[in-house]
Structure 1
């Protein structure tokens, strides 16, 4: 079996060795979660002419990046209140 005795030349356009600056780049940090706000309407926007409904959460839930503990009282649109109740996140009215 024959071996190649010719030394391999480095590529002319090969990048230089990586420096510590390029290796230590890290992913951006996640944004901090916000605490529960005041009595504003949360979730999807209210339809025109609809009144917000107050619901009490049965379980921990995150809406738009904000954590809400169990028993938190929220003002939500009527269709969102129905969805929360159907999924078990809000107590039945």
Structure 2
């Protein structure tokens, strides 16, 4: 049985991400402009303050969190009671 005598220095998570981005720049993810559904044509994001806990795309948002959403999604959240009164 052969034994590998070469030891590899373990890479840190930041180094692995940097190497991945350098090798495949098209795969690099940018932060989304809005939470939830994407903006429509010629729409600007609306910032809403949540009145209840909400989970969107696997991310938890607590009451009082201010999140940018599309105007259509803001209207839906208001109708369902998730947006705090101001």
Above 0.5 in TM-score?
Answer: yes
* Pairwise CA distance, 1:40: 3.9
CA distance in 1, matches of 2:44, 2:79: 20
1:8-87 → structure 2 map (5 Å cutoff):
40-87=33-80
Q: Does 1:91 align with 2:84?
A: yes
TM-score by length of 2: 0.60
Q: Please identify runs of 4+ aligned residues in structure 1 that moved more than 2 A.
A: none
**Structure exhibiting the larger radius of gyration computed from Cα positions:** 1
Count of residue pairs the alignment pairs up:
56
TM-score by length of 1: 0.56
Structure 1 alignment gaps of length 5 or more: 1-37
User: Retained in 2: the 8 A contact 1:56–1:71?
Assistant: yes
Q: Whose helix proportion is higher, 1 or 2?
A: 2
Structure 2 alignment gaps of length 5 or more: 1-30
